[in-house]
Amino acid sequence: MELVLIPYYMMWLVFGLPLVGSLATAALRKAGRVSNYVAVAFSLLSALAALTMILPILEGVSLESVDYTVHWISGLNLTFGVLSDPFTAILANVVAWVSFLIMVYSLEYMKDDPSSNRYFFFVSLFIGSMQLIVLSDNLLSLFVGWEMVGLCSYALIGHYWKDETKNWVGTPGDKALGEEQAYSPSHAGMKAFVMTRVGDVAMLAGILILFFYAGTFNYRELAASSGAWLPALANAGLLVPVALLIFGGAVGKSAQFPLHEWLPDAMAGPAPVSALIHAATMVKAGVVLVARIAPLFYFAVLANPSLGVSSVQPFFLTVAWIGAFTAFLAATQALVGFELKKILAYSTISQIGYMMMAIGVAGLSTDFVQGLSSGLYHLMSHAIFKACLFLAAGALIHAADSKYISDMGAMRNKMKLTFAAFLIAVASLSGLPPFSGFWSKDAVLATAWSAGQYALFAAGALTAGLTAFYSFRMLGMVFFGSKSKRLEEVEAQGHHLHEPSAIMWVPYAILAAATVLFGLVALAGQAVPSLNLEATFDSAATGYIQLLYPQAPVGQGAGFEAAPSGIALLFVAIGFGVAYLGYVARRWAPGSLSAAGFGRSLYVFFEKRWYINAVYYKVFVNAPLGASRWLNDTFDFKGLFRVNDAGSLLGNRLSTAGNWLDVRVVDGTANGISSFGQRISRGLRRIQTGIVEQYVQVFAAGVVLLFIFFLLAFGVKL
């Protein structure tokens, strides 16, 4: 089979161009909107560079897997390089093209924002940092991109730094366990920064321990030397802990339980920022990290007869169950949400959980490729339809002048293009055939089914039903029913509902079309092998695995399976049917379920975010603050302050005594001597009268006395 080698400089351009674009944007900050267009241009060039990586795959030609590495610090065996393989090519293109469309959308969405230059600077830096994570051939440079992504997310989530109430996330006054559940943009940005740092510290500890035992951060070198470091880690009892520490970074960045609470509040940022974080960059970084390290550990123990796969299965079980539980947890919160972007945020947390579950199940299966490829497949599918949803949501919120779906209603008649795009993306999110989300989610569930992990499959299937319900609930409340009072007020003020400008709707229309296209291609692929997307992702996953372990028994992946697909579709149909009857057709009143009794208690439990967020604030925010106040009041104020006051009083008394000694003794002695000299001086001055006659008399008397003295001296007798 023909192999194509991509020029190495093209891959460096993929992440380098957005970074250069961010600097150019900053340099042109006084050029008005010109700097915004420059940022978009660099994003397009980066996407075109990424396209050169995937064109051979689209043409049916295999892409040669290569690690382009340059030495950085030879003494420490630190290198910097990029990977060229089908797996990386797909990831890079998903990030590049989705990000480019979001950038185009931002030109119109942010045109009147006084801080648009700062926005485009950080977005460009964000894209370049994410591409560095995707393309890096080692854990160290990945970590550099990782931290840059964290910085950009902090800046962009808190973009509306003036913290006007209209930009807050949550409803002011809404409390859980007495804790406020509404946050300003600056608070939300700091919350994201702090919570993800918890995972980052764990991740850094993990990769440093791994480096200590392996002597390298490079993926291929780690794979090649696994026969040395793997037994050493296992003998030290650190094999699973190190893998879990690195996974901790993914838990934070990808908002998985228990570090998931920052993402719903990240909706305080502008709509395109939400699209970027959820679809193309930050939350996908954790999935990329796990996809990179999972094969390292799995095939390393597989090649070591003394250990075996069972020695690392606790890691994969943890990954799979955290993913499955997070998917369910977030879906339940989306069921009762009323903020449009927040519902989408919960859905992102849930869908990322599916991806984590797929990769975790890969390590519990005899066919690792199936799990890895299904996770990658769902990542791509989700990036497309979730970006579409967020961009359309931005247009809807702008039109309704409200973030609440209860303030919308019947908007499909005035915003038909937006409705069509939103409907397609919602259907894909729900897992309805033939849209792309159906095939990718089906691949994830089929992975759990074929691995014999039926409990995980059941959790995923149940969550699929919940997803269909909250998705069509959201759709029904926004586009169906009657106009809300809020919309009537907006129209009464002369702001009639209409589609946004083409610069805004074209990007999400393209994303909606891509969702349909990939779904139809996957459908056709069931009959035409050359169009089989699952096989393409299987091949991509195989390419990355064989880049690490050329002789690895990677398996062939699995095709469409009727049983798991049918069961999942049954749950989806139930969720869709209930939501359709209640929120689209309006045949029954869903509010009756949560009016009283157990239904009401369950509703409040979900609405209050399972009280997890409130408990976090009580334990990790308010408790330390309360302890610090107590220490200040008791130890500082009553202890150190009193010691300080006593010291001050003693110092004052000593200074008074010193002053007395200085004035009475030291100054007294000096002043006494001075006074004595002055008295002598005044006495002597009395003979200096200034009268000439007196001076003559004294002179004459002196001469007479001297004359008598000389006479006596020479013996003259008088």
- The phi-psi region of residue 409 (left if phi > 0; otherwise alpha if psi is between -120 and 50; otherwise beta) is left
In three-state secondary structure terms, 288 is helix
Averaged pLDDT, 422-430: 98
Residue type, 101: L
| 225 in Cβ contact with 215 (< 8 Å) | yes
**pLDDT at 74 > cutoff 70:** no
pLDDT band at 58 (very low <50, low <70, confident <90, very high): low
What lies within 8 Å, CB to CB, of 142 at 6+ separation is: 132, 133, 136, 289, 292
Q: What is the pLDDT of residue 655?
A: 80
Ordered by start, the domain boundaries in the chain are: 3-607, 614-686, 692-718
d(CA 46, CA 486): 42
In three-state secondary structure terms, 110 is coil
Nearest CA to 487 among 399, 423, 394? 399
Q: Which of 208-222, 383-397, 469-483, 522-536 has the lowest mean pLDDT?
A: 522-536
pLDDT band at 65 (very low <50, low <70, confident <90, very high): low
Q: What is the pLDDT of residue 75?
A: 67
Measured from the Cβ of residue 303, the count of other Cβ atoms closer than 10 Å reads 16
Prediction pTM value? 0.88
Averaged pLDDT, 369-384: 95
Q: Regarding beta strands 3-4 and 62-63, do their DSSP bridges make them parallel or antiparallel, or are they unpaired?
A: parallel
d(CA 154, CA 189): 5
For 557-581, give one letter per residue: b (16+ CB within 10 A) or e: bbebeeebbebbbebbeebbebbbe
Average pLDDT taken over every residue of the chain: 90
**What is the separation of C-alpha 453 from the centre of its chain, rounded to a whole number of angstroms?**
31
Nearest CA to 443 among 388, 387, 385, 379? 379
Q: What is the pLDDT of residue 1?
A: 43
Q: What is the pLDDT of residue 343?
A: 97
Tell me: the pLDDT tens digits for 435-469? 999 999 999 999 999 999 999 999 999 999 999 99
With a pLDDT cut of 90, the percent of the chain lying above it is 68
Distances in Å between the Cα of 342 and the Cα atoms of 58, 177, 272, 278, 470 are 36, 21, 14, 12, 12
Tell me: the pLDDT tens digits for 569-599? 999 999 999 999 999 999 988 888 888 889 9
Nearest CA to 72 among 142, 148, 140, 145? 140
d(CA 587, CA 454): 35
d(CA 467, CA 704): 134
Q: Which of 129-143, 351-365, 396-410, 668-682 has the lowest mean pLDDT?
A: 668-682
| 382 in Cβ contact with 313 (< 8 Å) | no
Q: Which two tokens stand for residue 525?
A: 């692929």
Helix axes 282-302, 368-400, angle to 10 degrees: 170
Q: Which two tokens stand for residue 26?
A: 């900053």
With a pLDDT cut of 70, the percent of the chain lying above it is 92
Nearest CA to 459 among 556, 360, 543, 341? 360
Measured from the Cβ of residue 509, the count of other Cβ atoms closer than 10 Å reads 20
Averaged pLDDT, 149-167: 94
pLDDT band at 552 (very low <50, low <70, confident <90, very high): confident
Task: Specify the DSSP class assigned to residue 64.
Answer: P
Tell me: the pLDDT tens digits for 602-628? 999 999 999 999 999 999 998 888 888
Tell me: the pLDDT tens digits for 170-211? 998 899 999 999 999 999 999 999 999 999 999 999 999 999
